[in-house]
Amino acid sequence: MKKTFLALCAALTATFIQFVVAAEADPRISVALKRNDIKFDIDEDGDYQIIFETDEDSGRSQLIFVNSSVEKYGSLEIREIWSFGYRVPDGSTVPASVIKKAVISSNDYIIGSWELLKSERSLIYCAKMPANLDDDTLIKTIISVGNRADEFEKETLGTDDL
């Protein structure tokens, strides 16, 4: 019975979740960013890159990505807005103590959480939001992600390189 239930869940999940790969930039994002006078670049994957000034006094900034690709669950489109908060050099992995700190700090946030990339060399702060966000919510999410990632980078690495 348990195997049948798990097989049914897997089949239903495969039916509802689709990965949509964007070969080009999603114009909904550029329209919102331009309306709000936010400068951006578009990378080779069609994702938006925004350099956000997190602290004017210290000159700190953070690179934030707004993915053009979305994941669909039925009619719902979900977009990732994310930023690196911790990276280690090639050949090593994120220390367990840093992962624990990130996971615990995620409890304090309403939007977004920390994710360990599959390479285990980077932590990103990621908000998974509806792709059709209004301008105000998109901008507030970008700012929140940038601030969270920069705070973590400053506390754990003491740098402003990410």
Burial class of residue 82 (count of CB atoms within 10 Å of its CB; 0-12, 13-18, 19+): buried
- The per-residue pLDDT of the chain, averaged, comes to 87
* Spatial CA neighbour of 123 closest among 84, 75, 66, 67: 84
pLDDT at position 91 is 78
Q: Is-contact 130 79, C-beta < 8 A?
A: yes
pLDDT at position 8 is 39
38 pLDDT tier (thresholds 50, 70, 90): very high
Amino acid at 10: A
Q: Domain-by-domain residue ranges, the chain?
A: 18-156
> What CATH number was assigned to the domain covering residues 18-156?
3.30.1460.10
Residue with tokens 């709000």: 36
7 pLDDT tier (thresholds 50, 70, 90): very low
Q: Mean of the pLDDT values across residues 9-30? A: 60
pLDDT at position 23 is 55
- pTM of model > 0.85: no
Task: Tell me the per-residue pLDDT of 42-99, one tens digit each, with 9 for 90 and over.
Answer: 999 999 999 999 877 788 999 999 999 999 999 999 999 999 999 997 779 999 999 9
